Chain A
Amino acid sequence: MSSVSQNFMKFFRGSSGPETIPAQGSQKLTRRSSGLGELSRSWESAESLCVLDLGSTSPTNIRHFTEHGHRIYSEDLLTASTDPELLTKDEQGSAVLDSRKFLADNLVYPAAHFDFILCWNLPDYLDESLVKPVVGRLWSVLKPGGMLLAFFHTRDAGPDSPCHRFHIVGADTLEMQKIVLRREARRGPTGAVHTAISDGFQLQRVFNNRHIENLFRDFASIKFFLARDNVREVLVVR
């Protein structure tokens, strides 16, 4: 698994600090999601829900919820975690991300604000130092009885599993799109404009069931759905 400093070197080579923005348009794959299906049954009969989508900005998801009269918040936490100002050192001198600064700038919402949170594959790809603090914050901003959906790779998925973004295209159907990060175009020393394409986010760890239960121990209930594509879908209720 990649270290924090390796990830940052990959994104931020060069004298200036370009912004890292997920590029559009790689091939889309469709997958059925039992977790999404269960969530859909909950929200289809409800009105004026408040939903938090923690993936890359998805016009499809925004349209899906606003067309049904719900409010949707979009916050791309994976991209936010690549902010170079988060980089710091722990007591042992190892490079880590500053979770306090991260939570001061992100997931800033009133307590018990959301009915549903769509985590997608965030915990699998988020830096180790941010995972537990982020889950703790998500617990606090979720309403009692609110639900959170997250996806976890199984060990069979392999360490090079690509990071995808997810678009809701049906009650239990998602479109998956591989994330390819692209740095903004920068001028090189000769004045020519360069645009580098770097690899997407890397799988940071593989959670087993016990790890997942421990991660969400403050939630009231947890349900697992095992899918054929080596993904474990987890639905938790606050």
Chain B
Amino acid sequence: MSTPAAALAQIGKSVFVKGELSGSEDLYVDGQVEGSIALKGNSLTVGPNGQVKASVDAKGVVVQGKLEGNIQASDRVDLRKSAIVTGDISAQRISIEEGAFLKGKVDIHRIDTK
């Protein structure tokens, strides 16, 4: 019997979570989350139906839906064209598609790797 591929943790469209979310795997949110999300070393994706009102601390963040809160990413933040983000972003790299909406600060901090 083959080992199943590692599953991506998901919060579906109809799910509402309020509180502190933390984990050591990637997370896909297409529902509603309020509170905080801590995924150091892993990635958060807010799907097109996702509505997140939380501070986010992750390695990488991809936003396709709504996110209200500050984003702290140790690597990269991607705002897709349907993203609506209200909050400050701190990351090593950022990519913003035409059409994305951002109200907040962008602060890029590059880490020298030697």
Contact = CB atoms under 8 A, between A and B. Distances in A.
A and B interact: yes
B98 A66 contact: no
Nearest to B90: A71
A72 B81 contact: no
A76 B107 contact: no
B96 A62 contact: yes
A71 B108 CA distance: 7
Contacts of A202: none
Given A24-B81, A66-B94, A59 B100 contact: yes
A63 B96 CA distance: 9
Interface residues of B, number: 17
Given A25-B98, A59-B96, A59-B98, A66 B104 contact: no
B97 interface: yes
A74 B94 contact: no
Given A57-B96, A62-B96, A71 B81 contact: no
Given A24-B81, A62-B94, A73 B100 contact: no
5 closest cross-chain pairs (CB), A and B: A59-B96, A24-B99, A66-B108, A24-B98, A57-B102
B105 A59 contact: no
Main secondary structure of the interface of B (DSSP, over half): strand
A176 interface: no
Task: Identify the interface centre among B94, B95, B103: most chain A CB within 10 Å of its CB.
Answer: B103
B106 A76 contact: no
A59 B79 CA distance: 10
B28 interface: no
Contacts of B84: 19, 21
A228 to B, nearest CB: 28
A175 to B, nearest CB: 12
Interface residue tally on A, bucketed by range = 10 to 19
A172 interface: no
A69 B99 CA distance: 24
Nearest to B99: A24
Nearest to A77: B103
Contacts of B102: 57, 62, 74
A75 interface: yes
B108 A76 contact: no
B106 A62 contact: yes
B110 to A, nearest CB: 9
A45 B81 CA distance: 33
A69 B110 CA distance: 9
Contacts of B101: 21, 57, 76, 79
Interface in B53-70: none
B41 to A, nearest CB: 24
Contacts of B107: 66, 71
